[in-house]
Structure 1
Amino acid sequence: MKRVVIGVVGIVLLVGLFSFTWLSGDHSFEISKNINIFATLYRELNTHYVDELSSEELIGDGIDAMLKSLDPYAAYISEADIEDYRTATTGEYGGIGAIVGKRRNANTVIMPYVGYPAHSAGLKIGDEILKIDNQNLEGKSSIEISELLKGQPGSDIELTIKRYGIEKPFDVSLTRSKITIDNVMYYGMYDETTGFIKLSDFTTDAGSEVKNALDSLKSAGATKIILDLRDNPGGLLDEAVKVANVFVEQGKEVVSTKGKMASWNKTYSTPYPTADNDIPLAVLTSRSTASAAEIVSGVVQDYDRGILVGTRTFGKGLVQATRPLPYNSQLKITTAKYYIPSGRCIQAIDYSHRNEDGSVGEIPDSLKVAFKTSKGRTVYDGGGIEPDLSVEPRKFSNLLYNMVSQNLIFDYATEYAFVHPEISAPRAFNLSDEEYSDFVTWVDGKEFNLSSQMDDAIVALEKMAKKEKYYDGMKPAIEKLKIKVGTLKENYLETFKDDIKFMLEEEIISRYYFHTGMMEASLDHDPTVIQAAQLLADSKAYSKILNQ
């Protein structure tokens, strides 16, 4: 089998050599020489290496390394991964309609999608899946579980479920369906006159979903709109144009692309009459707002169509296209860069050096170039889109994240939902002080590690002090610091009561109202949403930003 694979690789390489005849002589020779070296190297490895080699794995690693050296977005999509790629670009797949992941190493229903088989069959958040079609899942990865759950729409599947409060596992029969993940994951009224739209992706129909949400909100009395693009990774370029078109009049340039080949030099303009070119608009951005989401953000800013509130966007302005490869595989290759109407390029100047979260770091003023919006406001390139009003997201202590990662919040919400058949509407629900005290008592009975970065810092300080031979002099101060940190941790549940209650309430709400309920409940506690709503409500301040 391996010799057959090698032969196929050789044929593919040979075909590649003949395809280079249009290049200049020197360039063609360099390519031919290096491909010959690669093929010979692999043949020698396969013949003489001490262990058996996996052709697919080894060559796949070589391809990945080659593409990684170019930019972070070029990728090889194997035949095995092609369906996942289609799901990512279309938002559609065949399955049960639920997010399933690991909780305490158990395969757990994290979120069923309302109206799809998992939800219709009564699966609940917190349910553990023990078997799929009588196949034991012990030791299987989340990816393997996902593959087992997916299948042709109309095909049957049986799950063995373990549920909190029910002693014995039970079977649930479902029929897979075509799952279409909405781009607009939530829309509703923030207050009496402000509509809120959360756009999470740019897959097929994103533009029409935003337009429908806008029309519905205006019918409900919205005279101002907040469009939330935070953490939106982007997607289809055509859908970015259509989303921009919802708020920008027909015939306006949205984005242009410029690449090495003339065929990639294109300009995209709004193709349809706009849904609303006048309604006051605030677009929310974050460090994870990327690609198509940055195009829409930049268009709104460049045409002074609305205000941007939040943090600088990710800075991904590279265009990817897919090219067919042998054996049903594909190459996702970077072909051009995005330029928004002011002439700015969204792409970060240096995409190889970023913050830990992948976002653009500080950009020296000397590397920025100034551009003008339609009303003459000065804006800059250099990486991503800078908001008109900077607002940092709500931050939580690392101790709280430790509680979340150890599933304390998740498990308590599951138990709470078992005891309470119903709760009030999402924005009205609040845990009482008595209920919070019950949670504190519940936590006291659990074994968990409430560690923190402060503990790590103290350990590092001790090691350094001992290494540098000044530990004896610092020991009293270090011991006092340990005591202070210990006291903080002992009083943690009271000190950070508001933050913990917020997390608990969101998780509990998800048990009754799912994604939409969590989104709705978060609005009143979200500093970026609050700032945007206040600015929209102040017409003078809103107008001043757009005309400064």
Structure 2
Amino acid sequence: MRKNTRVIIFISGVLLLAFGMLGLKEDDKRFQISKGLDIFATLFRDVNLFYVDDVQPEKMVQDGIDAMLKKLDPYTVYYPETKLDEFKMMTTGEYAGIGSVIGMKDDYVVIREPYKGSPSYKAGLLPGDLILAVDGENMKGKNVEYVSSRLKGQPGKEVVLKLQRVGEEKPLEKRVLREVVQVPSVPYYGMLNNEIGYIYFTGFTDKAADDVRSAIMDLKNRGAQSLVLDLRGNGGGLLDQAVEIANFFLPKGFLIVSTKGKMKQWDKEYRTTRNPLLPDMKLAVLIDRASASASEILSGSLQDYDRAVVIGERSFGKGLVQTTRDLVYNTKLKVTTAKYYIPSGRCIQAVDYSHRNPDGSVGTIPDSLMKPFKTKAGRTVYDGGGITPDVKIEPEKYAKVTQELVLQDMIFDFVNEYAATHPTIAAPSEFVLSDELFNEFKEYLKKREFEYETASQLVLERLVKATQDEKYYDQVSSQVEQLKNSLGHSIDRDLDVFKKEISDILSDQLMERYYMQEGVIEYHIRNDKDIAKALEVLSNNEEYQKILK
């Protein structure tokens, strides 16, 4: 048996030992595990020997492992040696590469945004650059994961990119020197006014607490009397970093989170260990549907101790704890080992992966099954559905035309073409999208022959086909034509009706193109209703205290 086959079978055996047959007695479990390993080994051997075409043993077993773990939850993941860079990026925010956000566009991967100060930024890569080749290898038809693996590599080693740029007839060649790229956990902080500081915080990597501490101290030195901590879109990360950041606002010895699992060794309590940096400063925390895991530990613990006013949308609802296990041959397993509980005693896990529907899908915990808990001051909060904010802000609901403009990359493409002939625009603090620029965008859409169908039109098309198939159409044709006229849409009209929301997204992408992520955030601060509400609450001490007490 080949070496890689033995390795793969052993890895699969380890995973089966960890997850299989939990409901059986120990002796039965040992027998079932041994039986399962024998079946797997003989099956894999015979497929490898006798299948009509050549097989890829490592890929087959990787697919098998992924399918097996998918039955558990989305957070239990196997990392082969080839994907350890992905694991490192998740925990540290570091990787060695060119430092760009990339995505698919037609048959090629495109540069979406070079990180400020990164190798790609220094080499002059721009949003909209199509990656035609990497070190001479044609990238047509290659997916994001494949191209990303070619862009990453040893720090200090050069990678040669062949690019097609907007406004250029011939492809460009760019030489980019790979570096260790650190994605900042705090990409922006500043003062909202003379008294209120603001920190935009994107992830709980191993340096997150240090980054947040530095931002807090700088804002305090600049006169901040209150603070807005923005966790919107923050998908979480390391639990210990959430505990340490909570300690900036809560006294020593306070319980922040406890974990409870099948094995007693995973039952732990995490408490604050130092005196707080800001024991009394008024605090508002912003969350949304993408705020998850460590973000929910931080916002939930501050809510449970009545230490902050939580503003925004109900959070994601991830109350599962993962632990990393080292496996053989430099591989790793990130496995769910416990659930976490915040100070009031509630678990905010919103999805029950252990009890699936007959079709294999999972459902959220219904509101009727959520249990009430009490904060330190006696306010009622609930488990089972993420963190419910103290002040709810309804999420934006975009029109179909706006969604299609984004999905079809019309705004992204227009912004890149515009930037090719307009080297500068007004600063984020001053920028206002003019009618002239919006009309230029409308003309661009006509040139691109932008089209889309609404959901109601698609339903109507199916209805017409059904009536024709069933020979009812002649009887209802007049009503159908009337519906077509009523449900028909004009792109010009839709662009005017939904001008504000389209302008907002167009402005965002202009800010990102000219001023990168910092510019987008700075522009948002002027127009963000969640931030506006936070300013209102923090500026009114009576309202602030009323919410918390």
**What TM-score do you get using the length of structure 1 for normalisation?**
0.91
Q: Which residue pairs with 2:430 in the alignment?
A: 428
Give the 3-state SS of the residue equivalent to 2:247 in structure 1.
helix
Give the 3-state SS of the residue equivalent to 1:460 in structure 2.
helix
Corresponding residue to 2:122 among 120, 127, 141: 120
User: Is contact 1:108-1:127 (8 Å) kept?
Assistant: yes
Which amino acid in 1 is paired with 2:366? I
Give the C-alpha shift of residue 96 in structure 1: 1.5
Corresponding residue to 1:311 among 310, 313, 317: 313
Pairing 1:193–2:171 present: no
Change (3 A) 1:13 1:145: closer
User: Paired residues, what number?
Assistant: 540
List per-residue Cα deviations over 1:347-399 (Å, max 9, x = no partner). 22524779xxx99846232x122211111111111231111122122221121
Give the 3-state SS of the residue equivalent to 1:401 in structure 2.
helix
User: Is contact 1:392-1:528 (8 Å) kept?
Assistant: no
Q: Distance in 2 between matches of 1:25 and 1:71?
A: 27
Q: Distance in 2 between matches of 1:387 and 1:135?
A: 50
Change (3 A) 1:388 1:465: farther
Q: Distance in 1 between matches of 2:81 and 2:208?
A: 27
Q: What are the equivalent positions in structure 2 for 1:414-453 lying under 5 Å apart?
A: 414-453=416-455
Q: Which residue pairs with 1:224 in the alignment?
A: 226
Which amino acid in 1 is paired with 2:425? I
Pairing 1:144–2:146 present: yes
Pairing 1:284–2:259 present: no
Give the C-alpha shift of residue 48 in structure 1: 4.4
Q: Which residue pairs with 2:367 in the alignment?
A: 364
Give the C-alpha shift of residue 180 in structure 1: 0.3
Q: Which residue pairs with 2:324 in the alignment?
A: 322
User: Is contact 1:394-1:526 (8 Å) kept?
Assistant: no
Q: What are the equivalent positions in structure 2 for 1:156-167 lying under 5 Å apart?
A: 156-167=158-169
Q: Which residue pairs with 2:482 in the alignment?
A: 480
Q: Which residue pairs with 1:270 in the alignment?
A: 272
Pairing 1:461–2:463 present: yes
List per-residue Cα deviations over 1:487-532 (Å, max 9, x = no partner). 4434112111111211111111212210111122123333322222
Change (3 A) 1:543 1:42: same
In structure 2, stretches of 5+ residues that fail to align are: none
Which range moves more in the overlay, 519-528 or 292-301?
519-528
Change (3 A) 1:521 1:360: farther
Give the C-alpha shift of residue 10 in structure 1: 5.7
Q: Which residue pairs with 2:524 in the alignment?
A: 522
Give the 3-state SS of the residue equivalent to 2:485 in structure 1.
helix
User: Is contact 2:351-2:363 (8 Å) kept?
Assistant: no
Corresponding residue to 1:412 among 414, 423, 437: 414
Give the 3-state SS of the residue equivalent to 1:503 in structure 2.
helix
Change (3 A) 1:18 1:401: closer
Q: Distance in 1 between matches of 2:379 and 2:210?
A: 31
Q: Distance in 1 between matches of 2:274 and 2:127?
A: 42
Quote the sequence identity (%).
43
Q: Distance in 1 between matches of 2:364 and 2:228?
A: 27
Which range moves more in the overlay, 269-278 or 163-172?
163-172
Corresponding residue to 1:83 among 74, 82, 85: 85
User: Is contact 1:74-1:333 (8 Å) kept?
Assistant: yes
Give the C-alpha shift of residue 204 in structure 1: 1.4
Q: Which residue pairs with 1:183 in the alignment?
A: 185
Pairing 1:73–2:75 present: yes
Which amino acid in 1 is paired with 2:521? M
Q: Distance in 2 between matches of 1:350 and 1:340?
A: 18
Which amino acid in 1 is paired with 2:442? V
List per-residue Cα deviations over 1:297-324 (Å, max 9, x = no partner). 1101100001111122111111111212
Change (3 A) 1:7 1:451: same
Change (3 A) 1:167 1:69: closer
Which amino acid in 2 is paired with 1:146? S
Q: Which residue pairs with 1:34 in the alignment?
A: 36
Q: Which residue pairs with 2:156 in the alignment?
A: 154
Which range moves more in the overlay, 213-222 or 70-79?
213-222
Give the C-alpha shift of residue 178 in structure 1: 1.0
Q: Distance in 1 between matches of 2:11 and 2:445?
A: 60
User: Is contact 1:244-1:296 (8 Å) kept?
Assistant: yes
Q: Which residue pairs with 2:257 in the alignment?
A: 255
Which range moves more in the overlay, 167-176 or 105-114?
167-176
List per-residue Cα deviations over 1:131-188 (Å, max 9, x = no partner). 3333332232222221121111111223233333344333333321110000112222
User: Is contact 2:323-2:334 (8 Å) kept?
Assistant: yes
Change (3 A) 1:421 1:521: same
Change (3 A) 1:8 1:147: closer
In structure 1, stretches of 5+ residues that fail to align are: none
Change (3 A) 1:409 1:12: closer
Change (3 A) 1:482 1:532: farther
List per-residue Cα deviations over 1:230-276 (Å, max 9, x = no partner). 22111111111112122222221111111122211111112222121
Q: Which residue pairs with 1:101 in the alignment?
A: 103
